[in-house]
Amino acid sequence: MGGGKRHRPKSTLLTYLWWDKRDALDYDWLTRFGTVYRPLRWSEWEKQRENPSHSRRPTIGIMTAWGLTREILRDKTSHSFHALAKSAYVPTAEEMTAWDMLAAEKKLKQRSYRPWTDSKNDYLRPPHQARLLTNKQLQGREKLKAMFHIKDTQ
């Protein structure tokens, strides 16, 4: 009783980060470990298995890679953490502390407004759909085109 299972590596999370959020993962790995994570390809694995002395690059296993990535994700200021949280930008530790102090001072809930979680602050987001013009606005545009002899080129 109480003998829980050992946690297995979250290789799917690591694979998702590597596949979709590689820039954040590479940034964190480079700043912390001086290298980037690159999973071993099947062809490389076969060559390494046939002749282990001719390995072109040192390989990092999935267990080691997950352990290092887990440590990165524990840091709330890491780019990988905020990529998974879909933040608009990565706040500094000072900015997070300032917002926490403001929340404590105003006795706000812990989950109150944080600017990095607001999609309005994401300047790289896709543009919104253009709003539809009313008939009056379309007639006004046609009147201006006629007044200044503008012809549509289509």
3-state secondary structure 10-74: CHHHHHHHHHHCHHHHHHHHHHHHCCCCCCCCHHHHHHHHHCHHHCCCCCCCHHHHHHHHHHHHH
Q: What is the mean pLDDT of residues 100-107?
A: 79
Check pLDDT > 60 for residue 3. Answer: no
- The pTM for the full model equals 0.64
H or E segment to which residue 97 belongs: helix 93-105
Within-domain flag for 93: yes
Q: Which domain holds residue 20?
A: 8-86
Q: What is the mean pLDDT of residues 31-36?
A: 92
Q: Which of 86, 120, 137 is the last residue of a domain?
A: 86
Supply the pLDDT for residue 1: 44
Q: To the nearest whole percent, how much of the chain has pLDDT over 90?
A: 26
Nearest to 94 by CA among 74, 76, 80: 76
Q: What is the mean pLDDT of residues 47-76?
A: 80
| 36 and 71 housed in the same domain | yes
Residue 57 binned pLDDT confidence (cut-offs 50, 70, 90)? low
Supply the pLDDT for residue 26: 94
Supply the pLDDT for residue 33: 92
